[in-house]
Structure 1
Amino acid sequence: MNLPNILTILRFLLVPIFTAVFFSHLKYNYILALIIFLLSGLTDILDGFIARKYNMVTQFGKLFDPLADKLMILTVLWCLVLKEYIPPWVFYIVLAKEIFMILGSALLYGKIKIVVSANIYGKISTFLFYIAIFSLILRWQISFYILILALIIAIFALVMYILKYVNEYKRLRSTSRE
């Protein structure tokens, strides 16, 4: 188990901690929850940097790193729905997109051993979701617009993933027939 993978596991552990703190009756629960959320984002950046810089990229990291991110963002969005900071349809769109991505990734990995890696649009949408969530928790006026922009880019990223991997799947099928 290397350091990037430990950081990925830490991000999974931060999910229930975020939830417990967010719904607690601590004096500064939202600020503490926000710090936990930002720590999750920081460990995501750090584990990716360390894995690439020191050649510590693993199959575990490729598969579970994005799952940790998805779980944290979905959990935080659901918490925001429960507190009525955002409408439920935002959560359900992101949930549907993420389920589709997970199932599609599992299918590709199972059939042709391709690990779906993040594209630039996916990274931008994740970054925007972090900004949106940060601003939503702090109740900034512009936060919902940032959230909608993140949602639009996430859907665009999904379309780009689909196009890329459909083409890759077709290419691999055609070369295996030759």
Structure 2
Amino acid sequence: MNWPNLLTSVRFFFIPAYLGVYFSALPGRLYWAFGIILLAGFTDIIDGYLARRNNQITTLGIMLDPLADKLMLIAVFCSFLITGKIGIWAAVALFFRDIAMIIVAAFYHIKGKKTVPANLMGKLSTLMLYIVFFLLMFNYNHATSLLWGVICFSYLTSFIYLFELHAANNKINS
């Protein structure tokens, strides 16, 4: 296993760590929980950088990297739903999008079809979600409205990604 894939694998351990801290009675728990989210995001940036710089992009990494991102995002918005920071419809919209993306990626992988790495808009969408999560976590005004804007943008980026995925596989079949 190369360093980028190892870093991606470590991100899976941040998920239960985040949930444990978020729901704990630890003083400053929200700051610690957000710190874990930032650490996960930082390792995401580092593993991608290392993979590209060292030409270590692998099929495993292409599958695990977005899975780690999606599962962390699902953990965060589930914790926000449980604590009333977001409503059920925002949680459903986020959950549906992320689960659908995981299923589609798994389907393409299992069928032996080509997968494509996340595009710049997808990365921007994830960054925007992290910013809105910060705003929601610390109860900033208008955070919920911003969340809905980011949800709409994330659906747009998902459709673009699916188009790229379809196009990449049609080139192979042509």
2:145 matches 1:145 = yes
CA distance in 2: counterparts of 1:164 and 1:6, whole angstroms:
27
TM-score, normalization by structure 2: 0.92
* Deviation of the 1:59 alpha carbon: 1.8
Query: What does 1:19-168 align with in structure 2 at a 5 Å threshold?
Result: 19-168=19-168
Greater Rg by CA: 1
CA distance in 1: counterparts of 2:86 and 2:163, whole angstroms:
30
Greater mean deviation of Cα atoms: 101-110 or 60-69: 101-110
CA distance in 1: counterparts of 2:2 and 2:94, whole angstroms:
31
Structure 2 unmatched runs, 5+: none
Larger RCO (CA within 8 A; separation ≥ 6):
2
* Deviation of the 1:29 alpha carbon: 0.8
Give the total of aligned pairs. Answer: 174
Partner of 2:111, secondary structure, is: helix
* Deviation of the 1:171 alpha carbon: 4.1
TM-score, normalization by structure 1: 0.90
Q: Cα RMSD (Å) of the superposition?
A: 1.5
Structure 1 unmatched runs, 5+: none
Q: Answer yes or no: is the 8 Å Cα contact 1:126–1:150 preserved in 2.
A: no
Q: Answer yes or no: is the 8 Å Cα contact 1:109–1:115 preserved in 2.
A: yes
Greater mean deviation of Cα atoms: 139-148 or 47-56: 139-148
Q: Percent same amino acid at aligned positions?
A: 33
Q: Answer yes or no: is the 8 Å Cα contact 2:5–2:47 preserved in 1.
A: yes
1:2-22 per-residue CA deviation (whole Å, 9 max, x = no partner) reads 221121111100000000000
